[in-house]
């Protein structure tokens, strides 16, 4: 498989680890405040991410990031943090088998926003696939 197809491997790994995240988090938030659980998780992620940056020798690259890029990375971090806080709270009070599909229904928003703001193509295949995900989400939660 060529480098241009490597995204597929990482996307599958992301899905796998996201599934583990849901299962581990559901057990982890049973007897602790969901915000505290998110804070602990964030420290772990912070240590792993900066460890990889350090091992790969990219620490100095932080000073060459443009203001625009930094702004959008910060905004992404804010969105991620808010998403995690809401996700952990939802897991704490709801069933993982229902919380996860609703969370993943954000795919519909990604589709719309990527077309509007990133200029990505809106193909019939993308619309149908996203529609099926949305229908599947409704089937699971109703």
**pLDDT tens, position by position, 84-142:** 999 999 999 999 988 988 888 888 889 889 999 999 999 999 899 888 988 988 888 88
**Dihedral angle of Cα 7, 114, 39, 23, to the nearest 10 degrees:** -60
Whether the pLDDT of residue 16 is over 70: the answer is yes
**What's residue 141's pLDDT?**
81
How much is the pTM? 0.81
Collect all residues with Cβ–Cβ distance below 8 Å to 126 and sequence separation of at least 6.
111
Going by pLDDT thresholds of 50, 70 and 90, the confidence category of residue 1 is low
């Amino acid at each position: 498989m060529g480098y241009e197809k490597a995204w597929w491997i990482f996307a599958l790994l992301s899905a796998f680890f996201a599934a583990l995240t849901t299962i581990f988090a559901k057990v982890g938030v049973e007897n602790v405040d969901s915000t505290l659980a998110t804070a602990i998780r964030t420290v772990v992620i912070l240590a792993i991410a900066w460890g990889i940056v350090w091992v790969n020798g990219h620490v100095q690259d932080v000073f060459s990031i443009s203001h625009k890029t930094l702004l959008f990375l910060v905004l992404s971090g804010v969105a991620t943090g808010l998403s995690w806080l809401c996700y952990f709270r939802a897991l704490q009070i709801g069933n993982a088998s229902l919380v996860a599909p609703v969370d993943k229904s954000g795919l519909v928003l990604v589709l719309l926003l990527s077309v509007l703001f990133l200029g990505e193509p809106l193909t019939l295949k993308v619309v149908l696939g996203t529609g099926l995900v949305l229908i599947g989400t409704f089937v699971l939660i109703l």
